[in-house]
Structure 1
Amino acid sequence: MAGNGPAPKAAVEARPASTVVLLRDSSDGLETLLLKRNKALLFAGGAWVFPGGALEPADWQAAGDDVEGAARQAAAREAAEETGLCPAPQSMIQISHWTTPLSEGKRFSTWIYAAPCPENCDVVIDGSEIHEARWISVQAALQQHHDGTLAVLPPTYITLCDIARYPTVAALLASGESRQPPQVFPRPARHEGQVLVMFRGDSGYESGDGSLPGPRHRAVLEGSRWRYIHDGVAAEFPPLTGA
């Protein structure tokens, strides 16, 4: 006899996507371009993000069906469409790769790249999906997020924390030779009324129980700001921020 209750739903397949962190040097240190999404959008409405989106057939064609090459092409294309800037795919270094949790109804397998900003180009946004664009120092972006005035999602927040340790664009790009981009599979949960996202190495990651004692590898939403915690975690699970 069949068990009680409906059968569990199969996870939605993650769609390939990519994001590019555009960078430039300034007197205030490393700067990045952030875009504010339309508040009316169902996904990340009102949040500040980096340019990016799903891979399209033209990206696969340009890369000869190589998925990593197609991801670079998509990152460049999305940057051009959303900002008017055209970073060269070959100038990008991969920072990380994030896969949307299995529990989500819309999932993406996202390559996150960093690239120098093309010179002598003005930022142009569409005013529809993207309502605002701003160059901001990475340190200022983190401070404004901590102050509750800059809304970002965990991948954006952790990426900002990661690149904040580099003083210049050149220093960050040079790290590409030794960088091992982490494969990130976040797992959402709640604990003591707080929203949190656990990463591999957290004591509650496998079970999904954020209350379990032990190592902490998670981002916790405190009010409107995220706080990244990496405490007591085994060496095989290094910090996503590189610290």
Structure 2
Amino acid sequence: MTSTTGRRFPLTTTPGISDAASRWLAGERWDEAEPRRASTVMLVRDGDGIGGVTGPEVFMLRRVSGMEFAPSTMVFPGGSVDERDGEIGLPWAGPSPSEWADRLGCSPAEAQTYVAAAIREVFEECGVLLASPSASGPLAMVDGPEWLDIRLALVDRRLSLADVLRDKGLVLRSDLIVAKAHWLTPVFEPRRYDTWFFAALMPPFQVADGETTEADQATWVVPAELLRAYAAGSALMLPPTVVCVEEIRDAPCAADVVVHSDTLPLIMPEVVDGPDGAAMEIVER
């Protein structure tokens, strides 16, 4: 992913954090919240060219207005790690947790939880399951009421991802996702997330939907159109999402998005007072 060090986002374009950021900038301090580990997935496909629009599209959700974190904001499917994502013996195919650990710069156990959380969350939130009966076979067909019940059981934590895979005779396909970026929520936020951003191609014969209570809109978006709406103030996005959507916009096709980033620095915005007013400045660590 292209370096964004020094880039600034005005607080007026950063939803839900302007008050806390302004207080922090004014010198008020409070205990830093412990970041939650999280994973999110940029699910991409090639556009159909209708209306002259070409290039990749990305599936996104708009969070409901009542959410405590990032209300009414456009996001990729994702969420917090479930400790059971790190379960020993989770059915797995593709690069191993140790190989993922080398790429992410963490322990194999942590790498497994991030990758498994990415697979689980994209299934919970939009019904796309990157799992198959074998290491290289076609992906599972996950339509029908039974699979919606399974998604709800995952959301409610009545089932773990390992439970589902074992019961259905499937293996997680870690070869179908790539690591794109690593972002950490600023220190002044009352809710903080240590988030890995992954990307995956939309698989054929599955359908992405919006069957989640956390979103009031779920749709495939053309990155350039969303970025224009963001610039006009009619769509809300957090800085990490903006940067990722820009990279998708600039890719010639979806396959060019689903390539591991060469470098994966930890990025954490800091609140600064600049010549154009208070802003979030991107800092690589």
TM over 0.5: yes
Q: Does 1:16 align with 2:99?
A: no
1:130 is aligned to 2:151: no
In 2, the alpha carbon distance for the partners of 1:66 and 1:163 equals 30
Which of 184, 204, 207 is 1:119 aligned to?
204
Cα gap change, 1:84/1:195 in structure 2, threshold over 3 Å: closer, same or farther? farther
Identity of aligned residues (%): 28
* CA distance in structure 2 between the aligned counterparts of 1:164 and 1:32, rounded to whole angstroms: 9
> 1:164, CA displacement in angstroms?
2.1
Unaligned runs of 5+ in 2: 1-28, 91-96, 99-107, 131-172
More helix by share: 2
* Pairing partner for 2:122 from 79, 92, 112: 79
Return the offset for 1:125. 2.3
The correspondence of residues 48-127 of structure 1 with structure 2, limited to 5 A, is: 48-61=74-87, 62=90, 66-87=109-130, 88-127=173-212
Tell me by how many angstroms 1:106 deviates: 1.6
Cα separation, 2, equivalents of 1:101 and 1:107: 7
Give per-residue Cα distances to partners, 1:132-173, cap 9 Å, x unaligned: 111012222222222322211111101111222211122222
Quote the offset at 1:36 in angstroms. Answer: 0.7
Once superposed, what is the RMSD of the aligned Cα atoms? 2.4
In structure 1, C-alpha distance between the alignment counterparts of 2:252 and 2:195, rounded to whole Å: 26
Query: Which portions of structure 1, spanning 4 or more consecutive aligned residues, are displaced by more than 3 angstroms?
Result: 62-65, 189-195
2-side partners of 1:102 and 1:171: how far apart?
33
Alignment CA distance shift 1:134-1:96 (3 Å): same
C-alpha separation in 2, matches of 1:126 and 1:94: 25
Distance (Å, rounded) in 1 between the aligned partners of 2:265 and 2:219:
27
Q: Hey, what does 1:219 align to over in structure 2?
A: none
Structure-2 residue corresponding to 1:216: none
Q: Distance in 2 between matches of 1:195 and 1:18?
A: 29
Aligned AA for 2:46?
D
Q: How many Å separate the matches in 2 of 1:182 and 1:134?
A: 30
What letter corresponds to residue 24 of structure 1 in structure 2? R
Show the counterpart of 1:39. 65
- Contact 2:55/2:249 (8 A) holds in 1: no
Give the whole-Å Cα distance in 1 for the aligned partners of 2:225 and 2:275: 30
CA contact (8 A) 2:63 2:72 kept: yes
Letter in 1 for 2:268: F
Shift of 1:11: 2.1
Higher strand share: 1
User: Greater shift after overlay, 189-198 or 143-152?
Assistant: 189-198
Structure 1 residues 75-84 or 135-144, which shifts more?
Answer: 135-144
- How many angstroms does 1:192 deviate by? 5.6
Shift of residue 89 of structure 1?
Answer: 3.2
For the residue of structure 2 that corresponds to 1:13, the secondary structure is coil
Q: Bigger relative contact order, structure 1 or 2, given CA contacts below 8 A and separation 6+? A: 2
Deviation at residue 9 of structure 1 after TM alignment: 4.2
Which amino acid letter does the alignment assign opposite residue 183 of structure 2? W
Q: Of the candidates 275, 279, 282, which is equivalent to residue 196 of structure 1?
A: 279
